[in-house]
Amino acid sequence: MKAIILAAGKGERLRPLTDDRPKVVLKIANKPIISYVLENINPFVDEFIIVVKYMKEKVIDLLGDEFHGKPITYVEQGENEGTAAAVYSVKEFIEPNEEFFVVNGDLYFEPDAVKGLLHVFKKEKGDAGIVVKEFENLSQYGMVEVENGKVKGIIEKPGNVKGYANLGIYIFKSDVFDYIENTEISERGEYEITDTINLMIKDGKSVVYYNYEGFWSDIGRPWDLLEVNEYILKTKLKHEIRGVVEEGATIIPPVEIGEGTIVRAGSYIIGPVKIGKNCRIGPNCFIRPCTSIGDNCHIGNAVEVKNSIIMDNSNAPHLNYVGDSIIGENTNLGAGTITANLRHDRGTIKVEVKGKLEDSGRRKLGAIIGHNVKVGINVTIYPGRKIGSNSFIGPGVIVDKNVPPNVLVTVKQEKKVVEK
């Protein structure tokens, strides 16, 4: 059985982290999102077909031509946008009457979701299948209407109502391509697989569903990365120290420390924490739970990191506080740089996403910093603010609004933003 992984999207809502890469290659707990997708569907398939487009080379370079010994084929999505268009692009790779999975490449789910769907699909002899999960508020999801074990229809973002959400995990047969050919473009200007499924239902096809109760996340916004990071560290992390821990350092399990990493005296680490290879930790730093630190990072003297993601080759070398934040690759925080993560009124933190403020629902959320950013000394960053990739923040700047990519921000009586 084949798995079609949809990985062509740009990930606009995850900027600045996707300024220079597709979202499926972003790392959570030091592993790319798409690797989790492949791992969790791997037991049920024989090969993978990955639909790519935006910065496709980065996906191909990451995964290569096989995963755990099973072949990977890459197919580029054409000019048409949307999930139905993405699925249609693999038509020539599917045999007549063949059954196959389709999975969005930016999800986190457990293998039980796939196992349950496959079981229901076979038992009920369905023509198609979909995984659903019940939520109290479906305003951000597609609502799946069900009756007598079958799907009656799918409604996109019905508002603040309770019901079953579409989780982006499907089984189809090859006849789905006939229905895609008859799918009309949506109001968003895309060809949606949910519209295709509605056409199948109207034509009398049996679309079954599996009600999944485990952990699932559609990783569409920066704070979703933190949520999934926390879940993985709390439920999957094993205590394993492959680096060097000096006498005088305190490690409270579970903590994973990679090869070549040294934890110097005075460091205090409370798990779950994951630290990659060839890092320099301490001396005299405090790393708190649910933090992941990538390879070749430096967390130095008098630094506190809490519930954060620090990606490869980045540094918080001295006198920093990094709380509930995401730091991209090749980024350096100057001495004394602080990320604020709590509003004075203790309200939930709003973040600008695609030009509009969105409520993260989180009372604590720090900075979202892109890749190749250089931050000067004594910089203060307000909660929920973004700094674009390749930007430079001068000494003493108060980052109270988002910073675009590729700019220089300085303080001379007033803040000035200058194109680099």
Closest CA to 13 of 225, 237, 302: 225
**Contacts with 287 (C-beta within 8 Å, 6 or more apart), sequence order:** 267, 268, 269, 270, 273, 275, 281, 293, 299, 304, 305, 306
Q: Which residue has the tokens 């930790």?
A: 281
Residue 51's DSSP bridge partners are: 6, 75
Strands 386-387 and 368-369: parallel
Distance CA 119, CA 208 (A): 11
Distance CA 44, CA 59 (A): 22
Distance CA 77, CA 208 (A): 27
Q: Give me the phi and psi of 328, to 5 degrees please.
A: -70, -175
Using an 8 Å Cβ cutoff, are 120 and 172 in contact? no
Cα end-to-end span (Å), the chain: 50
371 is catalytic: no
Evaluate the CA torsion angle 335, 341, 343, 349 in order and state its sign. Answer: positive
| Residue 385 CB neighbours (<10 A) | 22
Side chain identity, residue 129? G
Q: Helix, strand, or coil here: 388?
A: coil
Q: Which of 68, 119, 298, 318 is catalytic?
A: 318
Distance CA 247, CA 381 (A): 35
Distance CA 278, CA 270 (A): 20
Alpha helical stretches, state H, 134-262: 176-181, 193-202, 222-236
Closest CA to 241 of 209, 271, 205: 271
Burial class (CB in 10 A: 0-12, 13-18, 19+), 182: exposed
Distance CA 321, CA 264 (A): 19
**Contacts with 148 (C-beta within 8 Å, 6 or more apart), sequence order:** none
The residues annotated with a catalytic role in the active site are: 318
